[in-house]
Amino acid sequence: MKCRHCATPLHDVFLDLGSAPPSNAFLTADSLSAPETWFPLKLFTCDNCRLVQVDEVQSHAELFAPDYVYHSSFSRSWLAHAEHYVGQAAALLDLNQKSLVVEIASNDGYLLQYVAARGIPCIGIEPTSGTAQVARQKGIETLECFFGSDFAAKFVSEHRTADLIVANNVLAHVPDINDFVAGLAAALAPEGSITVEFPHLMELVAKRQFDTVYHEHFSYFSFHTVHRIFAAHGLKIWDVEQLPTHGGSLRLWAAHAHSHHAETPAVPALLHVETVTGMLDSAYYQGFQAQADAVKNEFLTFLLEQQRAGRRVAAYGAAAKGNTLLNYAGVRPDLVPYVVDASPHKQDHWLPGSRIPVVAEARLREERPDFVLIMPWNLREEIMTQLGYIREWNGQFVVAVPQLAIL
């Protein structure tokens, strides 16, 4: 395997989680009797550009199939995040009725609905047909395809260059990172801007967030690495924000290298922080396996102790990160009998690998479990508010990352 950015042969293993099925390959009643395909889940660190990456063991077209179950609009906090961003970008970039906003991986129109509400022309690019159809029902023009340099050239010939390109939590999902970033440059207006959000590798390491590793995420980024990749394609990062989303993310503001946008002090400041943290050194990427194993073992010990004591543990949030945790720990329905999820697209399905059933929230009130395990720990405040009624029967919340905590 060679680095997907600089083609350096890869030798250094960052994390090995054995094998697992794709984290969003939920099972139906019909598919329960069929075998599942498990793929290796091993990350490598490039000793040249420091890109952390997994081999492409399954094509992204298969991972993002028409029946893809993740819909962004089922998180109230994520909708609020998107709405705030649109207001910020519209004011900062002076977006108006003559502008064009393009979002890559626009999902169900969770963000572009706020762009359209301001009267700003917008187009979504989304490869999964189920979510694209929901976006169209909201009045969002959505092109059903994957984004890359060939698509960007065709898009420009049929539409026009974009004044703002939004790419939230998609950079990690791209197997050909160079082609994707080249496409960003091709589709961008001469004085336009690109914003990219992605989980920060520094936060993943510091907070032991190994459960964010799954096959849909081909790459894991430091700011240094993304800065290098964008520069290689004629793009400059002129600002960066550190966000609390997804356990700690970055939002980059980028533009053509020759554009008028001036670099803010935040860019060299974060590059310096990563340097002194050690992210340019090989030693930084060693030892993370032991951190992941410590989280897994603590979590499994907790579940076994509750089972022996006759206490019941239910889960909330059929999130991809939860599937990574459950499958690496070898958890099955004897320890966690069901997981509640607000999305009807996931209900009446079974989690990949663990085959734990996904049910509606009414099940919690009916069975009154002793503990509710919050699998999407990044949304724990929202979920604890939503499910606060479990305190009525002395129920308690639990998270496993970065360490086992009863809340």
Model confidence pTM above 0.85: yes
Residue 345, pLDDT score: 85
What are 221-273's pLDDT values in tens digits? 999 999 999 999 999 999 999 998 888 999 999 999 999 999 999 999 999 99
At 77 the pLDDT is 81
Pairing label, strands 339-340, 358-359: parallel
Residue 69 has pLDDT above 70, yes or no: no
Task: Work out the angle between the directed axes of helices 223-232 and 266-277 (0-180°, nearest 10).
Answer: 130
- Token pair, residue 257, equals 């290298």
Reported confidence tier of residue 78, pLDDT bands at 50, 70, 90: confident
3-state secondary structure of 153: helix
pLDDT at 63 over 70: no
pLDDT value at position 65?
Answer: 52
Is the pLDDT assigned to residue 87 strictly greater than 60?
yes
pLDDT beyond 60 at 178: yes
Q: Rounded distance, CA 369 to CA 365, Å?
A: 8
pLDDT tens digit sequence for 346-368 = 999 999 999 999 999 999 999 99
Averaged pLDDT, 331-342: 97
Map out the domains of the chain with their CATH numbers: 146-285 (3.40.50.150), 288-406 (3.40.50.720)
Q: How confident is the model at residue 66 (pLDDT cuts 50, 70, 90)?
A: low
Report d(CA 223, CA 279) in Å as an integer.
10
Compute the average pLDDT of residues 42-70: 74
| 3-class SS of residue 310 | coil
- At residue 216, the pLDDT reads 85
| Residue 340, strand partner residues | 316, 359
* Cβ-contact 72, 43 below 8 angstroms: no
Task: Assess whether pLDDT exceeds 70 at residue 67.
Answer: no
Q: Which residues, in sequence order, are bridge partners of residue 20?
A: 39
With pLDDT > 70 as the criterion, what percentage of the chain qualifies? Answer: 95
